[in-house]
Amino acid sequence: MQNVTPIYLCLFGLLFFTIVTAFAQSENEKPNIILIYVDDMGYNDLGCYGAIDPGIKTPNIDLLAAKGIRFTNYLSASNVCSPSRGAVLTGRYPQRNGLPVTPGPNDRPGFDLWNEHVGLPLSEITVVELLKSQGYATAAFGKWHLGKMDGFGPRQQGFDEYIGRLHNFHIGRAGTWYHNEDPVDEIKFSQAHQKLTDATIDFMERQQQNDKPFFIYLAHYLVHGPWSPNKEFCTPDEWASYQEKKGKMNPKIFPAMVRELDYHVGLVLQKLEELNIGKETMVILASDNGPWLPAGSAFPFSGGKYQTQEGGHRVPAIIRWPAGIPAEQVSDQLVSALDILPTIAAATRTLLPTDRKYDGYNLLPMMSGKEKLSPRKEFAYYNGLTLEAIRQVDWKLHLPRDPDLTASCVYWAKRRNKKLAAPMLNNLQSDKAEKIALDDQKKINELEAMAEIYREELGDWNRNGTNRPKSTYPGNLNTREVVVEK
């Protein structure tokens, strides 16, 4: 036995070293991150969300959901694109990060003064800037819409590389396509999607060769208009409808656009497996806001894009990370796009700056199964500068509003908002469509007090907040009107 003992000790020591080394390597490895941000996709616009339109088939996105966690109670930080995008990249409400409204198209006259001042401030620290400090290679591909290139462009916000068009495409017209700050082509909407997929795959391949973790912000132009799917994704009837409408609002061809989106998501997921990096890559797919009705659907919720009803904010959201979270999860816990940045920071062991307030929470404990409940219990529904509703778990209070009172209603909601003379209380657990006004004065008072706390920090249409930065625009952000000093 005396001769055997050293052998056992040696084997035990080797095993211990192997385990410790493997653990250390696992601790040091950083997950790749792909954030796929879809434009104007409603809650009911994917197969895995029970799409009622029989033309919507999304096998690739459905499989993504099956291999991760699908959220049924995920709220975008805004019901329009720019504030939503700024919030997901900063983890802060749009009213706090300085972009509560949308920059105007940079290729249309009349927006020069607006675009000089409206964009995501460079003082904001994006998730990209946090990850670069951890050695990540970073890229943004697709729709930017966070400000003009020479003042608020992607590479000024921390991205190593950018490919895309800053804004949406116009119906029937080509738009400028950029590589970094340089215009390199004029292309149409139908050409953009494959270019984004090619850029994403190329970037992944390059970073694997460089042995660097990567963060890709893949911001699709689909399923926003123009309603111009490529022919190979259309049925004969859908293509005939496109030929008739020529890119104008067209709910009939909307399913073809969703199928086209699914195809391109599938190509990216397939490449992850081919590169053998699927397990360690966190893939996040979410919509920026609700559907641009009548194209798309937010069923069973009311409203859509531009509105603070649930249909404007509650959107599909899926996270898959085989190395970090179990598969086959469906969560009805309240979460938000604001939680994406803190969750990514936790997954990459990145410390958040302490010089600013974050509005998001780390969802990893809940997604990994260590905790059952979401840390998020409340949410503020702003429309531009205006606080329109407040939520506490399943309770939601719509606040009084009057679209005829010009400055109280943000410009995109003027034709969609209805007058509300008194607060309206709903319970979303039993009333998803927000049709039943409840008479619970104690709860109304409680939520009104909560709304006042948000107003104190983030302001409202008629008051500044203690943590809302002052805009340099010489006018009213809600109306876009310039104030002429007398």
- Residues serving a catalytic function are 81, 145
CA atoms within 13 A on the CB side of 251: 11
Closest by CA to 65, choosing from 346, 245, 356, 317, is 317
Give the residues across from 386 on adjacent strands. Answer: 383
Closest by CA to 361, choosing from 75, 29, 26, 36, is 75
CA distance 140 to 164: 8
Cα–Cα distances in angstroms (integers) from residue 187 to residues 110, 182, 262, 377, 474, in the given order: 23, 14, 22, 44, 35
Per DSSP (E only), the strands in 93-154 are 137-142
Task: Find the angle CA(60)-CA(62)-CA(64) to the nearest 5 degrees.
Answer: 70
Closest by CA to 46, choosing from 305, 284, 318, 241, is 318
Residue count of the chain, please give it. Answer: 486
CA distance 454 to 197: 40
CA distance 32 to 313: 27
Tell me if the bond preceding 31 is cis, omega within 30° of 0.
no
